[in-house]
């Protein structure tokens, strides 16, 4: 079972946290900090698995993570999950985000938290994997945003293209997560 | 225009987020957030009714604030109101808020449940999915009560959309996990299992998680899932990489689902149905083969997905632990991965090998990788990988490589990461004890351990080394010498001082002959550490000092001086002060004899499971060890604490110092009647005169354990399982005959004509020697004239951890049915052990194989056609009906296995001649398996009716 899915940036700012077991809000924040502390001190090119922090259950749980450009994607899982399988799942998740946001970057996650949650909900439910087929997930996500569009358009009476990607404040596009998968650490203030 | 020009137009939200991101300090951020919270609060409380869009916007802001780590204590009601909206966007954000923020105890649950109920019956798949997600996210008992009946119906209904089915499966799983009593599968079981056959792979993906969980809890009811899972797996594995379209991930067909199917199969033993099993073995072989094929893509995702399946397949092979061929391949594959350039694969290979090391088929194969693993421990950059390497070394350790592994682990400890040191220390301590052949090595190892990683050496570890030194007099002198040397170091760890104080206090006399370690030198050495130590250690040292007074009267005045000094006798610590006062008084008023009795050498500790092992299990987390074991560990630790660590002084004084106890003499009597002391054999090294022996208090104790009475005892009746043990050896000659916590008996045997020779290996599994070890082999009753058995005498003493061998010569005079009896008697601790087993000598051991052609076989078969010459049995297969296994067993039986004789190739026929001194008995065998019915028919014909009958009996237990 997946106990928690956490996304935070290189500074430890949480960008998404989803817990599939109940913790108090305080503990959740502590878990995020602890996990960031554990994961961020690791070099690049070491293995992607480590034992979970104490708060989330210690060595019975594993943290499986990938580092994409400015973001860490961390899945905390128990021993019933395949480590490599979860790595694939993270990749599917990021590729899906990339397709939905057209070259996804950290800003997209900040401004569209609800959409990220929705996409995740198409993949993982109650800590178990619901769907791994990327095109199926994207179809669902697009159907939802279409529905949203129609409702919003009715409300604001204006229509824009389907994509919900965000340009940078400078007007230029920021390089996406996948483009920078193995890029060196780069500070980004948020 | 800043980043707010977005499609969905929640401008306020984007502005707010931008503001937060532009805050220059934490204070500014908090200020901005508080302002926004106040704004939202007033909007929610305001008179003006908010429209859905505004509600959605504010709820989104709250979510964002929550993510930043701020408590949200309002907005729940607004979110619940959004649930009943007809607009998807509003409903969806309401559900999102609830799944992120509402915990399962919330009072709002009833309102939420109402909204969910409406959505579930809406028949709008999108709304249904939202509702199911919400149930799965909150998963409270109230929700289970409300929906546990409804969801299975949605799951199996024919008209449910696939996406809804997927959500329903996982929703049900969540409810089952929180409230298993409310989810009654009963009538749904078979339909749920058949979801494995669903056309939509997504449905299978979701359903398999549910089925795996249910199977773990009710394996029998869900047993049918095994064959379905195998056929699904087989279809995936054999499909081309394009067959499964979207479920193909970087050229690997449905990797996630394959992994999950392999996991599901790990809930069950190997399939009994031969066809299913064959298909599964084929799948596993295909997966192993694919690992050797060149990759279809250079992308890491491709190899990742492929290896994910491979590792699960290997886990399954290890779980079955019954296919030697596959196990060896798995081991080789893991061996390749150990040197792979991908760190992830090295990590996983080390982890899988740990489980493989515990399988008897592959333990040896795993051991061949020892150099690679040691190298990993030394050179891996990643602590996660190093830790797995240490785990594997621990798992692959046995007597043959213990010294090497312990040495490597010790040298690694010097640089090991702090996070894993304590566990490493425990492991080294356990291995050193478990595989210590000579105990001076053990003492060296533990003292090194304390030297290198003293801070991480827990109480259990040093208690244990003292226990072992006390219990084994052959190591005491060495231990005293070694601690004395170790204490010479200018800075030594406090744990070293504890061990040193205890051991020198007990056995300092053994090295006192050397002027370099004369009593006074020993004392000065210990006392030079005194002021650096904590109170408990000082207390222990004081006890060592009083023991010194007893061992070496010449130190008395020096030690009394020390005890009398203000820093002792007026110490502010009550414990230390009391000890100083009492020891001083004891040393001045007690006569030498009384002193000698009070301060007698410690009696041996009773042998139990090492307390360190319990500690390691505890460290490994609650899942790894049952409550019972833990309790035991605790109890033991406690006892050691009271009885081991502190007994370094002597019981009377400790008891006296523990608050208001009676006078020392009364306590002494209590001690004398204590079971431990009276049962203890007189120690060889004891210098002490027993003043109370005249009173006869402990004479009883000695008498009751006197050896002569024990040896005359009758042999025990054969163990109830001895028939079963005998059956294990019908088709093999070598193996472990018997094993309990103390003793292991291994057998090697060889037969030629009517003669046989058997080697019995008796291994002492404990660390204490077995004394008066005797064995007798007898041929009861009718067996006597038929079998001549001569056993060579065996050493009467087996050292702890040692093995002795006994040779038994056997001559078969006539055919026989019974087996000879082996009786073993020895003393362990003080207790007599007496057990009897059947020696696995069976009539078939004297078979000579006879090759013959089909024609000859049938001719002889017909010749043996009298009814009493034939014995037949029809029986149910108790093992998998694997042709190769059956062949191996028949060959092990000793007959010739004849090919191309029986017209039905499924059947097996054998021929052989039993050689006895009196006569030769020709025998023919026919075994007809029926895979469908899982039955066998076994027919034996031989020239002697008793032989047919006996062979038939023996063989019917083998398949």
Q: What pLDDT shows up at residue A178?
A: 67
Strand pairing of A14-19 and A2-9? antiparallel
Average pLDDT across each block of 10 residues of chain B; the chain has 959 residues. List them in order. Answer: 41 85 88 90 80 80 84 82 85 85 70 90 89 88 89 89 93 91 84 91 93 91 92 88 76 92 94 92 93 88 92 93 88 91 92 86 85 89 88 90 91 83 87 85 89 84 87 88 90 90 90 88 91 91 90 88 87 89 88 83 73 68 38 36 37 36 33 33 34 33 33 66 80 83 86 86 85 85 81 84 86 86 84 85 87 83 83 85 84 84 84 86 88 86 86 85
Taking an 8 Å cut-off on Cβ atoms, the answer to whether B17 and A111 are in contact is yes
The residue whose two tokens read 């956490």 is: A6
- Let me know: does B225 contact B193? Beta carbons within 8 Å: yes
- CA B519, B525, B531 angle in degrees (round to 5)? 130
- Let me know: does B75 contact B58? Beta carbons within 8 Å: yes
What are the percentages of helix, strand and coil residues in chain A, rounded to 5? 40, 20, 40
- Residue B286 in contact with partner chain A when CB distance is under 8 A: no
- What is the Cα–Cα distance from B571 to B542, expressed in whole angstroms? 13
Q: Which residues contact B192 (CB under 8 A, 6 or more apart)?
A: B152, B155, B156, B185, B207, B210, B211, B214
> In angstroms, how far is CA B173 from the centroid of its own chain?
28
Beta-sheet strands, E only, within chain A: 2-9, 14-19, 49-51, 62-68, 71-77, 124-125, 128-129
Q: What pLDDT shows up at residue A167?
A: 45
The number of residues making up chain B comes to: 959
Burial pattern B126-139, b for ≥16 Cβ within 10 A else e, equals: bbbbbbbbbbbbbb
Residue A118: closest CA among B165, B140, B134, B122:
B134
Taking an 8 Å cut-off on Cβ atoms, the answer to whether A111 and B347 are in contact is no
Residues annotated within a binding site of B: 11-12, 43, 53, 57-61
Q: What pLDDT shows up at residue B214?
A: 92
- Let me know: does B924 contact B860? Beta carbons within 8 Å: yes
DSSP B93: H
The residue whose two tokens read 């817990």 is: A19
Helices in B102-140 by DSSP H: which ranges?
109-120, 125-138
Record the tokens describing residue B707, joined without a space: 């050896």
Residue A132: closest CA among B287, B9, B206:
B206
Burial pattern B742-760, b for ≥16 Cβ within 10 A else e, equals: bbbbbbebebeebebebeb
Give the distance from residue B308's alpha carbon to the nearest chain A alpha carbon, in angstroms: 5
Pick the residue of A98, A128, A151, A166 with the most B CBs within 10 A to test the interface with B by mutation.
A128
Q: What pLDDT shows up at residue B620?
A: 57
- Residue B53 in contact with partner chain A when CB distance is under 8 A: yes
Record the tokens describing residue A137, joined without a space: 């997930």
Pick the residue of A15, A33, A51, A133 with the most B CBs within 10 A to test the interface with B by mutation.
A133
Beta-sheet strands, E only, within B667-796: 735-739, 743-752, 755-764, 770-778, 787-791
For B769-818, the DSSP string reads -EEEEEEEEE--TTHHHHEEEEE----S-B-TT-EEEEEEEEEE-S---S
Helices in B245-299 by DSSP H: which ranges?
255-265, 274-292
What number is the average pLDDT over the span A104-130? 89
- Residue B236 in contact with partner chain A when CB distance is under 8 A: no
- What is the Cα–Cα distance from B808 to B792, expressed in whole angstroms? 6
What are the percentages of helix, strand and coil residues in chain B, rounded to 5? 60, 10, 30
Which residue of chain A has the CA closest to B382?
A: A46
- What is the Cα–Cα distance from B354 to B334, expressed in whole angstroms? 11
Q: What pLDDT shows up at residue B896?
A: 87
Nearest to B53 among A91, A121, A155 (CB): A155
Count how many pairs of residues, chain A against chain B, have C-beta atoms within 8 Å.
191
Count the Cβ atoms, other than its own, within 10 Å of residue B389. Answer: 28
SS3 B105: coil
Contacts of B344 in chain A (CB under 8 A): 47-49, 83-84, 87
Q: What pLDDT shows up at residue B593?
A: 83
Half-sphere exposure at residue B693, Cβ-oriented, CA atoms within 13 angstroms: 9
- What is the Cα–Cα distance from A166 to A173, expressed in whole angstroms? 8
- What is the Cα–Cα distance from B450 to A105, expressed in whole angstroms? 52
Long-range contacts of B104-110 (CB under 8 A, 24+ apart): B104/A22, B104/B138, B104/B139, B104/B140, B104/B141, B104/B143, B105/B140, B106/B76, B108/B76, B108/B77, B108/B80, B109/B138, B109/B140, B109/B142, B109/B143, B110/B142
Half-sphere exposure at residue B363, Cβ-oriented, CA atoms within 13 angstroms: 11
Pick the residue of B209, B215, B253 with the most A CBs within 10 A to test the interface with A by mutation.
B209
For A31-48, the DSSP string reads HHHHHHHHHHTSPTTS-S
Give the distance from residue B247's alpha carbon to the nearest chain A alpha carbon, in angstroms: 5
Instruction: Report the phi/psi class of residue B791: left, alpha or beta, with left for phi > 0 and alpha for psi in -120 to 50.
Output: beta
- pTM recorded for the entire structure: 0.64
Contacts of A143 in chain B (CB under 8 A): 126
Q: What are phi and psi of B374, to 5 degrees?
A: -60, -40
- Residue B73 in contact with partner chain A when CB distance is under 8 A: no
Q: What pLDDT shows up at residue B623?
A: 37
Contacts of A91 in chain B (CB under 8 A): 301, 304
Helices and strands of chain B, counted as H and E runs: 45, 16
Record the tokens describing residue B184, joined without a space: 């009654």
Distances (CA, A) of B363 to B334, B356, B395: 13, 7, 9
Contacts of B167 in chain A (CB under 8 A): 125, 130
Residue B502: closest CA among B515, B484, B475, B521:
B484
SS3 B944: coil
Q: What pLDDT shows up at residue B298?
A: 87
Q: What pLDDT shows up at residue B295?
A: 87
Give the distance from residue B244's alpha carbon to the nearest chain A alpha carbon, in angstroms: 10
Count the Cβ atoms, other than its own, within 10 Å of residue B39. Answer: 14
For B9-47, the DSSP string reads --HHHHHHHHHHHH-SSHHHHHHHHHHHHHHHHHHHHSS
Distances (CA, A) of B383 to A47, A92, B369, B418, B421: 9, 28, 20, 10, 12
Taking an 8 Å cut-off on Cβ atoms, the answer to whether A151 and B87 are in contact is yes
pLDDT for A130-168, tens place per residue? 999 998 899 888 888 888 777 766 555 443 444 444 444
Record the tokens describing residue B483, joined without a space: 């601690």
Nearest to A111 among B3, B87, B174 (CB): B3
């Amino acid at each position: 079972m997946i106990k928690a899915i956490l996304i935070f940036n290189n500074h430890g700012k949480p960008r998404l946290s989803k817990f599939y077991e109940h913790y108090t809000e305080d503990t959740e924040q502590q878990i995020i900090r602890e996990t960031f502390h554990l994961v961020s001190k690791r070099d690049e090119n070491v293995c992607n698995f480590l034992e979970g922090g104490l708060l989330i259950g210690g060595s019975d749980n594993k943290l499986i993570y990938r580092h994409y450009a400015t973001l860490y994607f961390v899945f905390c899982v128990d021993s019933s999950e395949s480590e490599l399988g979860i790595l694939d799942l993270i990749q599917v998740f990021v590729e899906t985000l990339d397709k939905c946001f057209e070259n996804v970057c950290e800003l997209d996650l900040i401004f569209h938290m609800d959409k990220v949650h929705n996409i995740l909900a198409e993949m993982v439910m109650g800590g178990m994997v619901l769907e791994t087929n990327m095109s199926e997930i994207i179809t669902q996500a697009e159907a939802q945003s279409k529905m949203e569009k129609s409702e919003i358009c009715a409300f604001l009476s204006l229509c824009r293209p389907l994509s919900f990607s965000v340009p940078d404040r400078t007007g230029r596009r920021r390089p996406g997560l996948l483009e920078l998968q193995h890029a060196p650490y780069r500070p980004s203030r948020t | 225009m800043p980043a707010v020009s977005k499609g969905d137009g929640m401008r306020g939200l984007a502005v707010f987020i931008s503001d937060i991101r532009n805050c220059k300090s934490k204070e500014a951020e908090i200020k901005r957030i508080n302002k926004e919270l106040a704004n939202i609060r007033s909007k929610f409380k305001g008179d003006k009714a908010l429209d859905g869009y505004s509600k959605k916007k504010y709820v989104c802001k709250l979510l964002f604030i929550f993510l930043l780590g701020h408590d949200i204590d309002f907005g729940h009601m607004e979110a619940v109101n959004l649930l009943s909206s007809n607009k998807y966007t509003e409903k969806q954000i309401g559900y999102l808020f609830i799944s992120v923020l509402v915990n399962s105890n919330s009072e709002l649950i009833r309102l939420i449940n109402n909204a969910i109920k409406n959505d579930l019956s809406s028949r709008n798949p999108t709304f249904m999915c939202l509702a199911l997600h919400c149930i799965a996210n909150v998963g409270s008992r109230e929700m289970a009560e409300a929906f546990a009946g409804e969801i299975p119906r949605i799951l199996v209904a024919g008209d449910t959309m696939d996406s809804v089915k997927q959500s329903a499966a996982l929703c049900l799983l969540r409810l089952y996990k929180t409230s298993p009593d409310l989810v009654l599968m009963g009538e749904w079981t078979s339909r749920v299992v058949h979801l494995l056959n669903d056309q939509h792979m997504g449905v299978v993906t979701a359903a398999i998680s549910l089925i795996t969980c249910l199977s773990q809890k009710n394996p029998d009811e869900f047993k049918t899932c095994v064959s379905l899972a195998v056929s699904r797996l087989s279809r995936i594995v054999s499909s081309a990489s394009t067959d499964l379209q979207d479920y193909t991930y970087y050229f690997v067909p449905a990797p996630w689902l394959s992994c999950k199917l392999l996991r599901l199969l790990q809930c069950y033993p190997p399939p009994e149905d031969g066809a299913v099993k064959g298909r599964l073995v084929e799948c596993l072989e295909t997966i192993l083969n694919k690992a050797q094929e060149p990759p279809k893509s250079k992308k890491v995702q491709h190899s990742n997905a492929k290896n994910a399946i491979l590792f699960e397949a290997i886990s399954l092979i290890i779980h079955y632990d019954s296919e030697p061929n596959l196990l060896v391949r798995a081991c080789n594959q893991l061996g390749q991965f150990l040197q792979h350039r991908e760190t992830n694969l090295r990590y996983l290979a080390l982890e899988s090998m740990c489980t493989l090391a515990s399988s008897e088929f592959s333990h040896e194969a795993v051991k061949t990788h020892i150099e690679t693993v040691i190298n990993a421990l030394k050179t891996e950059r990643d602590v996660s990988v190093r830790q797995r390497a240490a785990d594997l070394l621990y798992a692959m350790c046995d007597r043959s490589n213990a010294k090497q592994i312990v040495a490597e682990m010790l040298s690694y400890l010097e640089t090991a990461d702090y996070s894993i040191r304590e566990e490493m220390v425990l492991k080294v301590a356990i291995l050193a004890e478990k595989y210590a052949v000579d105990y001076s090595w053990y003492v060296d190892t533990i003292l090194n351990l304390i030297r290198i990683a003293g801070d991480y050496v827990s109480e259990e570890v040093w208690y244990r080394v003292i226990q072992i030194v006390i219990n084994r007099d052959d190591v005491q002198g060495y231990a005293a010498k070694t601690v004395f040397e170790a204490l010479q170091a200018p800075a030594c760890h406090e744990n070293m001082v504890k061990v040193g104080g205890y051991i020198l206090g007990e056995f300092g006399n053994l090295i006192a002959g050397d002027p370099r370690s004369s009593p006074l030198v020993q004392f000065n050495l210990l006392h030079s550490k005194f002021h650096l130590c904590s109170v408990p250690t000082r207390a222990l040292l004081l006890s060592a000092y009083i023991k010194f007074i007893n061992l070496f009267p010449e130190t008395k005045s020096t030690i009394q001086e020390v005890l009398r000094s203000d820093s002792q006798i007026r110490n502010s610590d009550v414990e230390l002060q009391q000890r100083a006062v009492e020891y001083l008084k004891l040393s001045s008023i007690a006569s030498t004899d009384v002193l000698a009795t009070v301060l007698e050498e410690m009696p041996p500790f009773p042998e139990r499971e090492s307390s360190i092992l319990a500690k390691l299990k505890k460290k490994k987390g609650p899942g790894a060890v049952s409550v019972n074991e833990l309790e035991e560990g605790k109890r033991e630790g406690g006892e050691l604490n009271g009885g081991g660590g502190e007994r370094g002084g002597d019981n009377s004084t400790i008891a006296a110092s523990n608050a208001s106890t009676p006078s020392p003499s009364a306590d002494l009597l209590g001690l004398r009647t204590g079971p431990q002391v009276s049962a203890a054999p007189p120690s060889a090294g004891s210098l002490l005169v027993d003043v109370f022996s005249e009173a006869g208090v402990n004479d009883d104790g000695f008498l009751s354990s006197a050896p002569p009475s024990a040896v005359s005892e009758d042999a025990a009746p054969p163990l109830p399982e001895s028939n079963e043990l005998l059956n294990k050896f019908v088709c093999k000659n070598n193996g472990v005959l018997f094993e309990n916590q103390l003793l292991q008996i291994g057998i090697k045997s060889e037969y030629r004509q009517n003669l046989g020779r058997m080697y019995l290996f008796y291994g002492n599994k404990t660390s204490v020697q077995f004394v008066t070890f005797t064995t007798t082999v007898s041929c009861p009753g009718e067996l006597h004239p038929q079998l001549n058995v001569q056993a060579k005498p065996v050493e009467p003493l087996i050292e702890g951890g040692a093995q002795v061998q006994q040779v038994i010569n056997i001559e078969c005079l006539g055919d026989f049915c019974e087996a000879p009896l082996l009786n073993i008697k020895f003393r362990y601790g003080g207790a007599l052990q007496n057990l009897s087993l059947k020696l696995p000598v069976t009539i078939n051991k004297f078979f000579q194989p006879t090759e013959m052609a089909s024609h000859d076989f049938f001719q002889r078969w017909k010749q043996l056609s009298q009814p009493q010459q034939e014995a037949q049995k029809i029986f149910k297969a108790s093992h998998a009906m694997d042709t190769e296994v059956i062949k191996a067993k028949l060959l092990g039986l000793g007959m010739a296995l004849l090919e191309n004789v029986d017209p039905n190739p499924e059947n097996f026929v054998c021929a052989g001649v039993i050689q006895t001194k009196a006569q030769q008995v020709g025998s023919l065998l026919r075994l007809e398996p029926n895979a469908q019915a899982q039955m066998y028919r076994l027919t034996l014909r031989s020239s002697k009716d008793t032989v047919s009958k006996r062979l038939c009996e023996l063989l019917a237990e083998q398949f």
